[in-house]
A and B are shown apart, each in its own frame.
Chain A
Amino acid sequence: MSERLPILRIGDILLVSVQFDLEDQMVLNLQEDLANEIVAKSARGVVIDISALEIVDSFVGRMLATVAAISRVLDARTVVVGMRPAVAITLVELGLSLGGVSTALDLEKGLAKLRQPTSSALR
């Protein structure tokens, strides 16, 4: 048996808040649960809050990228919010830039990002 993280729903958006260091199996469960929930709840967006995480290694990084890719296939968007500076620096040094993942500074900005029409390519 292994624990599963609760997935909350706000309108057509799914919200997961990761509050503690996850075991690998929980990471895999989360990925699976999110894929199921996106379809079951016809979600348009997913917000994953990692502001409490002091560590994101390549395993968790890969899960974030995979969830983003899965949600794209299922016509939803994923935003990862609240990554700490030290975590961001470490991930870059590790060689993970999470190319296809949208990010936001905090939950509020993440939700706002999902409300915006898709990427208004400003340059």
Chain B
Amino acid sequence: MAKRDSAADLVGLLTIEGQDLAAAWVREVSGSLGGRVGTAELDRELRELYDALVDALRQGATDVHSEQMSEIRALLTELSRNRARQGFSPTETAISVFALKRVLEPVLQDGTADQIRAYLQFNGILDGLGLFAIETYTQTRDELIAAQAEQLLELSTPVVRLWDGVIAVPLVGTLDSARTQVVMEKLLQALVDTGSEQAIIDITGVPAVDTQVAQHLLKTIVAARLMGAECTVSGISPQIAQTIVALGIEFDDIVTKASLADALKLALRRSGVDLVAHEGAQR
């Protein structure tokens, strides 16, 4: 029966006659968040949590992983996710939980021994809930970062059509293995989709390459050749040229041009297009 008693004590701790502890909690949290969450929203969030918490304790929940805590976990997950998306810090997220401790502190001064024991036990439960909130927060942030990285990958690799039968990928920024692979697949698919026999990989905007990236570029070029298309690499900076030579990467079979313009000129010549400058043409 000891267990039921402690549950009753815990519930008693949170439901003191004539006191709106939830309101005090909302005030406490609202102060720490500096008004960046609307009072009405905060009030709704915390009261829901408060009611669910009292319910769970009444049913004998002893820690955050208790079965009776499932609703609390769901509410906390939602709260933490929202905080993470709105750009709050982990501290600001956890404080929403921990502030409840401060609200209950008066009990320590004029409470009975049983009430103090209940307070300490409740403290442990709140610690668990706080950690759970932080964990969910971190998970949400990780998901956000992963999603952004993926979007960046998509954004940063356009394949453009320069001429009938000539496509180009202007690469900008640091190339890593994953991104180079995405480029490779996109470029090859674009060859099929546009029926292009000439492809230009322009790396003017790439500050550096390592062995792996250079290997990926080489593989792309060989794969394109297997499909019946030719690749030209343009815009190799002096630094990258030095790296390629220093790393001993064989670029022998690869056609390189200094600029995208030169590469385009070559691609056009290869596709049988002649460029003629008219004498006296206005420039």
Contact = CB atoms under 8 A, between A and B. Distances in A.
B195 A105 contact: yes
Contacts of B226: 83, 87-88, 91-92, 97-98, 103
Q: Which 6 residue pairs spanning A and B have beta carbons closest together?
A: A85-B188, A104-B228, A103-B228, A88-B223, A88-B226, A105-B228
Classify the interface of chain B: helix, strand, loop or mixed.
Answer: helix
B223 A85 contact: yes
Contacts of A10: none
A103 B225 contact: yes
Given A85-B192, A89-B223, A109 B185 contact: no
Nearest to A101: B226
A34 B1 CA distance: 90
B222 interface: yes
Interface residues of A, number: 22
Contacts of A105: 191-192, 195-197, 227-229
A45 interface: no
Contacts of B222: 92, 97
A30 B31 CA distance: 81
B227 A85 contact: yes
A81 interface: yes
Contacts of B196: 105
Contact of B197 (A80, A93, A109): A109
Contacts of A80: 228
Nearest to A64: B226
Contacts of B228: 79-81, 83, 103-106, 109-110
Interface of A: 79-81, 83-85, 87-89, 91-93, 97-98, 103-106, 109-110, 122-123
B251 to A, nearest CB: 14
B85 interface: no
Interface string B221-256: 011111111000000000000000000000000010
6 contacts: A85-B191, A85-B192, A85-B223, A88-B224, A98-B226, A123-B266
B224 A89 contact: no
Contacts of B229: 105
Most buried by A among B191, B225, B269: B225
B225 A122 contact: no
A69 B106 CA distance: 92
A92 to B, nearest CB: 5
